[in-house]
Structure 1
Amino acid sequence: MKIERLNQDKIRIFLTFDDLLERGIQKEDMWREIPKVHELFSEMMDQAYNELGFDASGPLAVEVFALPAQGMVVIVTRGKVNLKPEERSLEEEDHDEDVYELEVTLEQSDIVMYAFRDIEDVIAVCKQIMAAEITEDGRLYSYNGKYMLVLESEGLELARYHAVIALLAEYGEATSVTTAILEEYGKVIMPAKAVSEICTYF
C-alpha cells in the first residue's frame, strides 16, 4: 500500500492486487458494502494519518479507480460533500461538525499504464509488442522524470492482454498515476500510435 499527498485535503492510495488478496478482498468486493472493505478503509486512513498527518475526520469524498493488472487507486478528498439542498435538513446544517459523510465513486478503467525509467526500455518493449503483433497503438508521456506508456486494453483478446502485461512488467513498473493526472501534469510525447511510431524511428 502506497500513500501520497496530492494537496492539503487530498491523498492518493495505491493498492496492489496483492494488498487486496492479503486481506481476503477480491477486486469486485470494492464495489460492495462489506466489513472487510470497511476495515481496509480504516487501515488506509490510519496509515495516512501516521505517514502524512492526514486527519480523515468529517466528510470525505472517495474515488476508487480499478486499473487492469496493476491494482486500485483510491483518491480521498477531505471537506464538504456536496449534497443537494433538498437532501439536507436544518438539523444537519446545525450539526455539520458531527456528521460523518462518505461519498464513493467507483470507476473501472480499460487503461493499462506502465512507467519506464529509460527511453531504451520503452523502445525495447515497443519492439516486443510489435513483434508479437499485439497492438500498434498507445500514448507516450513524460511525467516526474519517467516515461509513461498508456495502452487501451479494450478490444484485446485475453491471451494478447496477458502477453502485453507480461512484456510491460518485464521492462517497466506498474504505476498508480491516473490518466487525468497525466493529462494535466504530464507532457505528451506521442499522442497516438506510440508503439508503431517508436518502432519506426528507433
Structure 2
Amino acid sequence: MRVERIHDNKISVFLSMVDLKERNIKMSDLSPENSVIQELFLDILEEAYIQQGFEVEGYQLFVEAKPLPNYGFHISITKFEDGEELEGDYSSGYFINEIGDFYSHSIDHEMKSELVYSFTSIDSIQPCMKVLNKYSFAETNLFQLEDKYVLSLWDLDFDQDILSIVHAYLLEHGEKEYFSIAYLKEHGKPIIENNALENLNKYYKAGY
C-alpha cells in the first residue's frame, strides 16, 4: 500500500493486487457497504495518518476508487468541513458524512470478535490480567507497534454485559484501538503470537 499526499486535504492511495490478496479481498468485494472493505478503509486511514499525518476525525470525506489495469486500485480521499463546497465533478464517488456512522457496523462486528488495546509497556498490561483470566479466548496476540504494545483478543462469544466489563477495565489501563489483525501483522512486531495471556501470566509470575 502506497499513500501520496496531493495537498493538505487530499491523498491518493495505491493498492496492488498483492495488497488485496494478503487481505483475501476480491475485486468483486470492493463495495463501501462490505464490512471487509470497511476494515480495509480503516487500515488505509491509519496508514495515511502514519505516513502522511492525514487526520480525518471531525471531517467529512469524499472517496473515489478506480481500477488500475494489471495493478490493483487507486483510491483518492478528500476531506472537507461541514458546509464547505467542493470543486470538480463528484459524481463518480461517494460521500461519508460521519466517519463514525460509516464504521458503526464494522466496529460493532469487530467488538464481538476482537478487542484491540494498546499499552505503554508490557508491565502496564498486568493489572488487566485478573479480569482477562476469568474468560476464555480462542486466540490472543501481543504486538509492538512503534512505542505501543498492542494486545489483540479474538473470538469473543460474550454477552454485552461481559463485553462492557472487559472493555471498561482495559480502557482504564490502556487505549482502545481499531487496528485490524492484517495491519498489526504487516506493520507491527510480534511479541507473543497465540496464547499471549498464558505467556504473559508466566512472565509476570517469573517476575522479570
TM range (shorter): 0.5 to 0.7
> CA contact under 8 A between 1:139 and 1:193: conserved in structure 2?
yes
Identity %: 19
**TM-score, normalised to structure 1's length?**
0.52
In 2, distance between residues paired with 1:193 and 1:156? 19
- Aligned counterpart for 1:140 among listed residues 139, 142, 152: 142
In 2, distance between residues paired with 1:160 and 1:176? 20
- Aligned counterpart for 1:64 among listed residues 38, 54, 62: 38
Deviation at 1:127, TM superposition (A): 3.5
Secondary structure of 1:169's counterpart equals helix
* 1:20-39 map, 5 Å: none
Report the number of matched residues. 135
> CA contact under 8 A between 2:118 and 2:174: conserved in structure 1?
yes
- Aligned counterpart for 2:67 among listed residues 75, 82, 88: 82
In 2, distance between residues paired with 1:55 and 1:157? 40
Structure 1, 184-193 or 171-180: larger mean CA deviation: 171-180
Structure 2 counterpart of 1:129, one-letter code: L
In 2, distance between residues paired with 1:98 and 1:185? 35
Match of 1:197 in 2: 199
- Aligned counterpart for 2:122 among listed residues 109, 119, 122: 119
Deviation at 1:171, TM superposition (A): 0.5
Deviation at 1:55, TM superposition (A): 5.8
Q: CA RMSD in A?
A: 4.0
Secondary structure of 1:147's counterpart equals strand
The answer to whether the aligner puts 1:54 opposite 2:45 as a matched pair is: no
Deviation at 1:102, TM superposition (A): 2.9
- Aligned counterpart for 2:93 among listed residues 96, 102, 126: 102
Deviation at 1:82, TM superposition (A): 2.7
Q: Which residues of structure 1 form unaligned runs of 5+?
A: 1-5, 11-48, 67-71, 85-96
Match of 1:160 in 2: 162
The answer to whether the aligner puts 1:175 opposite 2:160 as a matched pair is: no
Deviation at 1:125, TM superposition (A): 1.4
In 2, distance between residues paired with 1:99 and 1:157? 43
Deviation at 1:83, TM superposition (A): 9.5
In 2, distance between residues paired with 1:185 and 1:55? 20
